[in-house]
Amino acid sequence: MSVPSVAGHRASFHAIEWHHHSLHLLDQRLLPHQQQMLHYRSAAEVADAIRDMVVRGAPAIGIAAAYGYALDALAGRDLHQAFRVLAESRPTAVNLFWALERMAALSHAGTEALVAEARRIHEEDIIANLAMGQFGASVLGEKAVIYTHCNTGALATGGHGTALGIIRSGYADGKVQEVFAGETRPWLQGARLTAWELLQDKIPVSLVCDGAAAQLFRTGKVDWVIVGADRITANGDVANKIGTYSLAVLAKHHGVKVMVAAPTSTFDPTLDSGAAIPIEQRPAEEVTSLFGQPIAPAGCPAINPSFDVTPAELIDVIATEKGLIMNPDHDSVALLLAR
Ligand code: MRU
């Protein structure tokens, strides 16, 4: 199979494919200029692909890790070691650990069962995104103008997308007028990936520098900020791409609504609040250089936290495949997860 075929999922590309017992990943480091699939045959190789951002985005990382685990099962390797190497690839997106736990629960069930479970994790994510897209679009109102951050589309998930899935579903329903995509320094997921996906779907998009958000909000040009999540804690706090917290603070100040879109596999009810979420620190070179070219004085120190935490009180809605959480807090999150 290439990618699970789910009714309503119409991607013009596939970021994750499973063919003849090998995993194929679209190299997201090369987009939008080159589309190249890389092939993987072990958990260790897949862990490197996750760490190096060949594949990125919380749900996509979980799906790739599940296939990576299945690859080591097929090769008869030690599955404890497969779990360990994949779990060490990136720390913040809880989907990685959620997917690995699902695979490990079947570690004695045989290789066919493990491959089938990885495929199920992939397919369920697409189904969840399509449901989330409908729930999220239902609250947008008419002709909404949306600001989004990072990339949360078919590249970041099994297909369709979380925040971008809501934008896709909303646009198909005539509810989205226009999208502003923040470029998302330093890795430029917004400029390189989100703009690419939206242009392919012919959804009106304008790329903006991250620093332009306040001016857009102040001049009344934006109705909704819609973003994804890497981990949502029991009280509704949300870890997402660095810059999300700034957007939520700005949105509150200007009366712009904030929606977070995430499947329930992104929730971590074992953590009470966002303060406990491990935040990945990526190499300083991602800040001090661009496409291999230095953009800062030689030797200039830099810090590069890859995610931040937005407190629940700055979020109006969390959209999931099970429904919407309005004004998230401990009780409303628990109620949704119990459905
Ligand atoms: O560092 P990345 O590109 O993996 O970060 C991705 C994000 O922060 C996304 O917003 C998040 O994973 C949700 S993707 C559906």
Q: Report the predicted TM-score, pTM, of the whole model to 2 decimal places.
A: 0.97
CATH superfamily of 16-129: translation initiation factor eif-2b, domain 1 (1.20.120.420)
Pocket of ligand 1 (CB under 6 A): 56-59, 93, 150, 152, 156-157, 162, 189, 228-230, 240-241, 306
Q: What number is the ipTM of this complex?
A: 0.99
302-306: long-range contacts, CB 8 A cutoff, minimum separation 24:
304/186, 305/242, 305/279, 305/280, 305/281, 306/92, 306/241, 306/242, 306/279, 306/280, 306/281, 306/282
pLDDT of residue 96: 98
Residue intervals in the chain for CATH 3.40.50.10470: 134-337
Count of C-beta atoms within a 10 Å radius of residue 148: 29
Question: Would you name the residues annotated as active-site residues?
Answer: 230
Determine which residue's CA is closest to atom 5 belonging to ligand 1: 57
Query: How far is the C-alpha of 29 from the C-alpha of 46, rounded, in Å?
Result: 15
Query: How far is the C-alpha of 35 from the C-alpha of 50, rounded, in Å?
Result: 17
CA-nearest of 201, 226, 222 to 213 is 222
Q: How far is the CA of 316 from the centre of ligand 1 (A)?
A: 20
pLDDT of residue 10: 62
Residue intervals in the chain for CATH 1.20.120.420: 16-129
Query: What CATH architecture is 134-337?
Result: 3-Layer(aba) Sandwich (3.40)
- 133 assigned to a ligand binding site: no
Instruction: Give me the tens of pLDDT residue by residue for the chain, a chain 339 residues long.
Output: 455 556 655 667 899 999 989 999 999 999 999 999 999 999 999 999 999 999 999 999 999 999 999 999 999 999 999 999 999 999 999 999 999 999 999 999 999 999 999 999 999 999 999 999 999 999 999 999 999 999 999 999 999 999 999 999 999 999 999 999 999 999 999 999 999 999 999 999 999 999 999 999 999 999 999 999 999 999 999 999 999 999 999 999 999 999 999 999 999 999 999 999 999 999 999 999 999 999 999 999 999 999 999 999 999 999 999 999 999 999 999 999 999
Q: How far is the CA of 267 from the centre of ligand 1 (A)?
A: 14
Count of C-beta atoms within a 10 Å radius of residue 78: 11
- 214 assigned to a ligand binding site: no
- 57 assigned to a ligand binding site: yes
CA-nearest of 257, 147, 260 to 213 is 147
Residue 17: exposure state from Cβ atoms within 10 A (0-12, 13-18, ≥19): middle
Q: Which residues are 39's β-sheet partners?
A: 24
